[in-house]
Amino acid sequence: MTSFAPRRPGRLFWKLFVAFLLASGTSFLIGAGLFAFTRPDAAERAVFDALPFNRTMPLMIGTVVSLFFSAGLAWYLARPITHLSRGFRAIADGQLATRVHPLVGTRRDEIADLTRDFDGMAAQLQHLLQTQERLFHDVSHELRSPLSRLQLAIGLLRQSPEKIPDMLLRVEREAERLNSLIEELLTLARLKSSSADFGVSPVDLIDLLTAIVDDANFEGRAKGCTIRYSPAAPFVTLGNGDLLYRAFENVIRNAIKFSPPNTSVDVTADVNGECAVVSIQDRGAGVPVGMEADIFEPFKRVDTDGVEVTGFGLGLAIAKYAVERHGGSIRAMAGVGGGLRVVISLPRGMPSA
């Protein structure tokens, strides 16, 4: 956490100080004037006249009290705002670990709430920057592997021209892998961009799920994995059909990928008022406790107990951002009887940006 060195009072302090001084001084003068014109009786006048500096002492006391009161109140209000100002400058200089709420002590007012909001903003900026840096690192790592294999294939072609057919297949496979990775990265970038515009139209979510389940059943037949599908009544939502298709397809195909042979994946759709809730549960090993939210991060992979993992780790990240762009939510949890359960909630209408 960045700490700030002491600093002389700024313009806001002096403005508040002068304002409070004028207010308290005016109040004192009015009170003194009222006392002077009330004509105290002879006994009270005798006591007053016996005091030393009887004419100037009230004015001196009032002035000193007004000075201390005005300075204390002005400093109390201006100090946290000064911390905020210096905090904003620190954030602008790239010091994203800056926090100002601990510097305002135990205050419980709107200014303290503002410092908490500032710390929340700084923490979010720090998290976004760290996520971006990690994403750049992961992208460069994922690109380096197929590029290295392409260079190796080209080198082998130069050394052994008789292996042209095999090497061409290798080059074609790596080129397709690169193209797939770039396509998924572009999709993820568009989904993360709040300014990206996606065409929307009425989409029957149940029809879309039925088509995905049919295709996934055909794919899972190779390993003896079937999908037990329990559809709900028709549910028409306003959204982008391609993005929704890709989101649900990624989750369902991911469930098939991590399910052991000769098991089933349960897909259940329910309609709760103006919201559809879709549950996808596999029979795999699940994910470690505490990592349920991490699997939706780009390039995030977890231990799979010997299950061969293919792909780039972008499918669930794309599903997350696609669902959230439609005003919905997606979360993962331990499934009933083992495995992983992913629950997607989707409202009937896409929210206005």
Compute the distance between CA of residue 229 and CA of residue 159 in angstroms, rounded to an integer. 54
Q: Give me the residue label for tokens 């009222």.
A: 34
In whole angstroms, give the CA distance from residue 334 to residue 341. 6
Do 313 and 301 form a contact (C-beta atoms < 8 A)? yes
Which stretch of DSSP H or E encloses residue 272?
strand 264-272
Residue showing tokens 């620190």: 90
Q: How does DSSP assign 107-172, residue by residue?
A: --SHHHHHHHHHHHHHHHHHHHHHHHHHHHHHHHHHHHHHHHHHHHHHHHHHH-GGGHHHHHHHHH
Cβ–Cβ contacts within 10 Å for residue 132, how many? 11
Query: Catalytic: which of 83, 127, 141, 326?
Result: 141
* Residues contacting residue 233 through CB under 8 Å, at least 6 positions apart: 206, 271
Residue 137 falls in the annotated catalytic set:
no
Residues serving a catalytic function are: 141
